[in-house]
Amino acid sequence: MATYAIGDLQGCFDALQRLLDKLQFDPARDQIWLAGDLVNRGPDSLATLRFVKSLRNNAITVLGNHDLHLLAIAADHKTTKDTGLKEILSAPDLNELIDWLRKQPLLHYDDQLGFALVHAGIYPAWTLQQALDYAEELHQILAGDDYLDFIHQMYGNKPRIWRNKLKGWDRLRFIVNSFTRMRYCDSDGKLNLKDKGPPGSQGSGSVPWFDMPKRKTINNRIVFGHWSTAGRLDRPDVHALDTGCIWGGDLTALQLDTEYPSYISIACPEFRHPKGLSEVKHADES
């Protein structure tokens, strides 16, 4: 059995199939971990969603900001111009797909492999156990009968800093922003959700979340996506897998079950250009 972590798909179904062929992936034996953002922007969001769902326990996916944005659109809380998302909205199995998607975790950890999987990152002040607890707290809301109440309160950049006493929507909004939108933090621990460029392009006083001093997960191995402008990152503590498939970059997998994790990538055609994309602002606000 092999286990591969794969970066953001964003509806690039054909690229996923080509990568799985290159990996010689056997759905009866192997497992893939997906770093979230299964949908939006790419040409085949519906096929991607259906395929990942069909793999059952052989695919583990965490929720990304674009996946949450789809939940908001399906709940009539947001609108979209993306043709791929519109195809999902008109699909006969829409309700089944949405019900499956909202029940996926925000953080996955395998103690045997020693890897954690998340879409954007783990807030630097949290230990891995705290992060697992907070992810489960939000998961229970999203998987519950009243999840639409949260969906209508999900969007926004505040609060920007974690306090243990945070309650209600503020607490849940900070948790979801940390797991699905975070890239930079200010030196005082505040989330900087405005800067989205590669490390080094951010404003003064902000650093990538994984470079924050005294980060409590420094001794854990974290696999994440979300940050295409940062490219592939390979360090003992963090592995970034969003290599810009949708923008004409690569779709990248990381084999996790070997002594030394190894990368496998395929080249992808450019389906979208970053400039002038109407979906960027709305999806990244979730």
pLDDT score, position 278: 37
Q: Please, where are the H alpha helices in the chain?
A: 13-23, 45-54, 65-74, 83-89, 94-102, 128-143, 147-151, 168-180, 279-284
pLDDT band at 187 (very low <50, low <70, confident <90, very high): very high
**Mean of per-residue pLDDT scores for the chain:** 94
Please give the average per-residue pLDDT across 126-137, as a whole number: 98
Q: Using one digit for the tens of pLDDT, what is the confidence trace for 243-259?
A: 999 999 999 999 999 99
Kindly indicate the confidence band of residue 214, based on its pLDDT and cuts at 50, 70 and 90: very high
Q: How confident is the model at residue 36 (pLDDT cuts 50, 70, 90)?
A: very high
Query: What secondary structure letter does DSSP report for 30?
Result: -
| Mean pLDDT, range 253-275, rounded to an integer | 90
Residue 280's pLDDT is what? 38
Please give the pLDDT value at position 284: 52
CA 75 to CA 55: how far, in whole Å?
Answer: 26
Helix (H, G, I), strand (E, B) or coil at 266: strand
* Range 3-183+216-284 has CATH code 3.30.565.10: no
Whether 274 shows a pLDDT value over 70: the answer reads no
| pTM summary value | 0.95
Sequence-distant (6+) residues with CB within 8 A of 110 are: 3
Distances (CA, A) of 37 to 152, 186, 218: 20, 25, 25
CB atoms within 10 A of CB 57: 6
Q: What is the pLDDT of residue 283?
A: 46
Check residue 270 and give its pLDDT: 87
